[in-house]
Amino acid sequence: MTGPRIAILGSGAQGAGVGADMIRAGYDVTFIEQWPAHVEVMRAHGIEIRMPQETQVTDVRAMHLCDVATLRETFDIVFLVTKAYDTRWACELIRPVLAPDGLVVGLQNGMSIDDIASVLGPQHTVGAVIEMASNMFIPGIVNRENSPETAWFAVGAIDESVAPRVPEVWEVLRHAGTVEISNDIRSSKWMKLTANAGELIPSAILGLPLADAAADPSIREFMDRCCIESAYAAVASGSRLRQVFGLVEADVTTPERYAPRLLDIVLERFSSPTTKTTVLQDWLKGRRAEVQEINGTVVRAMARVGLMAPANQRTVEVALRIEAGELTPSPDNAMLLLADSALVS
């Protein structure tokens, strides 16, 4: 194998799918994962990626988190595909085995760029957006709804010194999908968060596939409101509305027009009738989800400029009740999301 030494830190559904594409393209890739059973199955049988048109089994080098302490060689590019709330400790874990000029690519939901930079420095940080749907409930088996032909990514630097090296990341990641180099990756990530604010947690609260939740006009209006508030939060934070996921320039106008169109694109191009969001997957597994990293980010960003984000605040409140065990994901929770008619007016 030639080229950079690559690590996929967080080799679950999304990370394993992307990493397998890189391995098949001839790259030297190491999977690092925190689910012990998943690591053992990958070591014994490789990773099985089930896509709409085909199933691929790829041999992989898989390591437990504790095995990182045994490594002697360093990585040139680390794709961080953990939950956003795991960013800081994951960066500390990989720091000793990151090459002196190594790059860490935050292929995550949420606004994790600054967390990566705060631990490793902006000179090692590459922001990224990932738009693809996958799930994994059985160790060693990924159900990937977006093959490389339909997956979409964006990558970009937050430090000017790193910008000339972003094409190195593009070259590797392009084997997993269409990749855009963004000259404003912070704004691009805010646009992904804007889509996530409407889709991930509201549909999970209902315990429904994304398409089923969005088919209810009242819920879709609520989802749109979450997205619109996020678009305003992005602008209030100094970012701007951008063309992502194939949006055209005519869509980039006001948050009221832009945000619902962004959600349309996600529903039309990047999900299927059976797609369950990553948040619902987490809850079905008994795991904490990225509630504060997505809708909570919108609420906090608006609060910093003296404004409110009532739909996102309501989403956070109901989601935290689910995580506290007071509620379970169910269509019955719609009444809690829509209790205040002002949220969807």
pTM for this entry: 0.93
pLDDT tens digits for range 41-91: 999 999 999 998 899 999 999 999 999 999 999 999 999 999 999 999 999
Residue 262 sits in the same domain as residue 319: yes
Residue 126 sits in the same domain as residue 222: no
Question: Rounded to 5 degrees, what angle do the CA atoms 7, 246, 229 make?
Answer: 90
Residue 151 sits in the same domain as residue 211: no
Residue 34 sits in the same domain as residue 172: yes
- What backbone phi and psi angles, to 5 degrees, belong to 215? -75, -20
Residue 214 sits in the same domain as residue 340: yes
Structural domain total, the chain: 2
Residue 177 sits in the same domain as residue 195: no
Residue 116 sits in the same domain as residue 168: yes
- The last residue of one of the domains, among 153, 183, 213, is 183
Residue 141: which CATH number?
Answer: 3.40.50.720
- What backbone phi and psi angles, to 5 degrees, belong to 314? -65, -40
Residue 258: which CATH number?
Answer: 1.10.1040.10
pLDDT tens digits for range 302-314: 999 999 999 999 9
Instruction: Round to whole Å and give the CA distance between 286 and 184.
Output: 36
- The last residue of one of the domains, among 183, 199, 226, is 183
Instruction: Round to whole Å and give the CA distance between 173 and 153.
Output: 8
Residue 146 sits in the same domain as residue 241: no
- Tell me the residue range of the domain where 193 lies: 187-344
- The last residue of one of the domains, among 165, 183, 201, is 183
pLDDT tens digits for range 95-145: 999 999 999 999 999 999 999 999 999 999 999 999 988 999 999 999 999
